[in-house]
């Protein structure tokens, strides 16, 4: 009878009829329940996504089954989907160790160990712990047992290296991946990013030009992105004719962003603005043109002119980012009360969209320092700091900004005392 029952459970399992398995086992007399059937019951609850109930049932037979690989795997599965990754790691590791010669069971455990370490890495990254995030990513690589797994875990690690500005490490991994998988646009662009950040512009150009030769011409989004990078690279190398050539191509694909890629070199402001003005001749007198030129002027300290352009853009598009940019201009013009009003409006728009607000919060902290309100300055600084830390974005630039605001608040304390 036990054999027939297990065969029926197996058939129901193959048909994904997990609730029928639960009903079948729970209808049995208590004296017929053994650890094998209880294990199947726990598995069935896991499969209907009642992980807490599945875990409770499985833990009831821990004394008898604690050294069984299948039991450890099922418990790890419960913890994994309950997002208790530390405990999931413990049980998946034991399942892996208990079945060194069972290739199928070992591979199954490896898949979930990779998932567990990846989840732990992402969690540490959100908490701003870059070293621990990378440590978990490295751990996940140990359990990749085939080419697909190795590529996925390597790419995840390389992406982390890029995020934490370890570009040389990312480059080494990504070049190895691309040597093995030639047609891989996602990995290519990740490699281009780390080369770009290392100012290896010639190599970026070489790889992007090759991509253009083989790129699907219907994929305009990626082509536009490639053109924008080529504009920047040729400009950095001083080849302005080539830069202009790709600016024009960019215009044809995405209605032009003439001048935008040149907008971050303060030594060439007039040249940049000349390129931006040419956008008008190319029929780009609209919100995007106002935004592009506004960013250039804001970055080069021409706040009144930038403010006028962002106002025009906002009148046309009513986009919260233009309000935020207006707030930045007003803050730099020391028109703090106006800036606070605009920034609070931008902040609410971002919150309504479930977007981050650390940009507004940093600006508000500066503004409240400007009007001598240290409590509100501290409030918005704390909010901005918490946000960038949770997102793993607490880089050197953010740390300098936080330090500058802290000094401003300290100066208020000294002044008020």
User: Is 227 exposed, middle or buried (CB count within 10 Å of its CB: 0-12, 13-18, 19+)?
Assistant: buried
Q: Which of 66, 87, 112 is the last residue of a domain?
A: 66
> In terms of residue numbers, what domain contains 15?
1-66
pLDDT bracket for residue 267 (50, 70, 90): low
Query: Residue 287: what pLDDT?
Result: 67
Tens of pLDDT, residues 218-245: 566 678 778 878 888 888 888 878 887 8
On whether residue 283 sits in a domain, the answer given is no
Q: Is the pLDDT of residue 264 over 50?
A: no
Supply the CATH number for residue 325's domain: 1.25.40
> Where is the domain boundary, 34, 49, 66?
66
Per DSSP, 264 falls in state T
Q: Which of 324, 265, 338, 267 shows the shortest CA–CA distance to 291?
A: 324
pTM of the model as a whole: 0.60
Our count of domains for the chain comes to 2
Residues sharing a CB contact under 8 Å with residue 327, sequence separation 6 or more, in sequence order: 339, 340, 342, 343, 346, 360, 363
- Average pLDDT over every residue of 179-203: 83
Tokens of 34: 């053994």
Residues 6+ apart with CB under 8 A from 243: 230, 231, 232, 234, 235, 261, 262
Residue 406 lies in a domain: yes
d(Cα 370, Cα 366) in Å, to the nearest integer? 6
Q: Would you say residue 131 lies in a domain? A: no
Domain contains 298: no
* Tokens encoding 204: 């970026």
Q: Is residue 183 part of a domain?
A: no
Phi-psi region of 102 (alpha: psi -120 to 50; beta: other; left: phi over 0): beta
Task: Name the DSSP letter for residue 265.
Answer: -
Question: HSE (CB half, 13 Å, CA atoms) of 188?
Answer: 21
Per-residue pLDDT for 260 more than 50? no
- Whether 218 is in a domain gets the answer no
Please determine, for residue 256, whether its predicted confidence score (pLDDT) is greater than 60: no
C-alpha angle 83-88-94 in degrees, rounded to nearest 5? 175
Question: Looking at 138-147, 220-229, 249-258, 398-407, which range is the least confident one?
Answer: 249-258
402 three-class SS: helix
Say if 381 falls within a structural domain: yes
Q: Is residue 122 part of a domain?
A: no
Rounded-to-5 percentages of helix, strand, coil across the chain:
80, 0, 20
Give the residue from 12, 45, 66 where a domain finishes: 66
| Angle between helices 201-214 and 185-197 in degrees, nearest 10 | 160
pLDDT of residue 321: 86
- Tell me the per-residue pLDDT of 365-383, one tens digit each, with 9 for 90 and over: 999 999 999 999 999 999 9
Q: What is the DSSP letter of 30?
A: G
What tokens does 328 get?
């930045």
CA triple 330-333-337, angle to 5 deg: 50
- Which range has the worst mean pLDDT, 123-132, 270-279, 319-328? 270-279
Q: How far is CA 159 from CA 153, 189, 331, 395, in A?
A: 10, 11, 35, 16
């Amino acid at each position: 009878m036990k054999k027939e029952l297990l065969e029926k459970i197996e058939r129901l399992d193959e048909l994904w009829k997990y609730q029928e398995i639960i009903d079948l086992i729970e209808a049995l007399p208590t004296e017929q329940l053994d650890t094998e059937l209880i294990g199947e019951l726990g598995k069935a609850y896991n499969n209907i996504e009642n992980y807490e109930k599945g875990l409770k049932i499985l833990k009831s037979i821990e004394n008898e089954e604690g050294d069984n690989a299948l039991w450890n795997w099922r418990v790890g599965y419960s913890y994994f989907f309950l997002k208790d990754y530390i405990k999931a790691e413990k049980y998946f590791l034991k399942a892996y160790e208990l079945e060194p010669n069972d290739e199928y069971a070992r591979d199954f455990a490896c898949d979930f160990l990779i998932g567990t370490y990846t989840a732990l890495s992402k969690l540490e990254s959100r908490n701003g712990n870059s070293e621990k995030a990378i440590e978990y990513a490295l751990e996940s690589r140990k359990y990749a047992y085939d080419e697909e797994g190795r590529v996925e875990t390597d790419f995840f690690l390389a992406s982390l290296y890029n995020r934490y500005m370890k570009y040389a490490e990312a480059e080494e991994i990504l070049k190895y991946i691309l040597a093995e998988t030639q047609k891989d646009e996602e990995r290519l662009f990740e490699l281009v990013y780390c080369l770009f950040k290392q100012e290896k512009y010639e190599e970026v150009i070489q790889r992007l030009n090759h991509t253009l030769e083989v790129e699907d011409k219907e994929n305009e989004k990626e082509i536009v992105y490639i053109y924008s990078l080529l504009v920047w690279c040729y400009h950095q190398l001083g080849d302005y004719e080539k830069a202009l050539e790709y600016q024009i191509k960019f215009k044809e694909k995405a209605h032009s962003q003439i001048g935008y890629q040149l907008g971050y070199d303060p030594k060439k402001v007039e040249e940049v603005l000349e390129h931006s003005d040419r956008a008008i001749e190319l029929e780009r007198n609209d919100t995007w043109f106002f935004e592009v030129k506004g960013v250039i002027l804001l970055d080069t300290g021409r706040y009144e002119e930038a403010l006028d352009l962002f106002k025009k853009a906002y009148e046309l598009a009513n986009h919260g980012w233009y309000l935020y940019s207006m707030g930045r201009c007003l803050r730099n013009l020391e028109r703090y009360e106006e800036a606070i009003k605009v920034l609070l409006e931008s902040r609410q728009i971002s919150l309504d969209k479930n977007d981050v607000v650390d940009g507004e919060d940093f600006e508000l902290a500066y503004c409240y320092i400007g009007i001598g309100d240290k409590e509100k300055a501290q409030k918005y600084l704390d909010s901005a700091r918490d946000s960038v830390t949770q997102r793993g974005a607490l880089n050197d630039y953010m740390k300098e900004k936080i330090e500058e605001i802290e000094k401003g608040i300290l100066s208020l304390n000294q002044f008020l005392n």
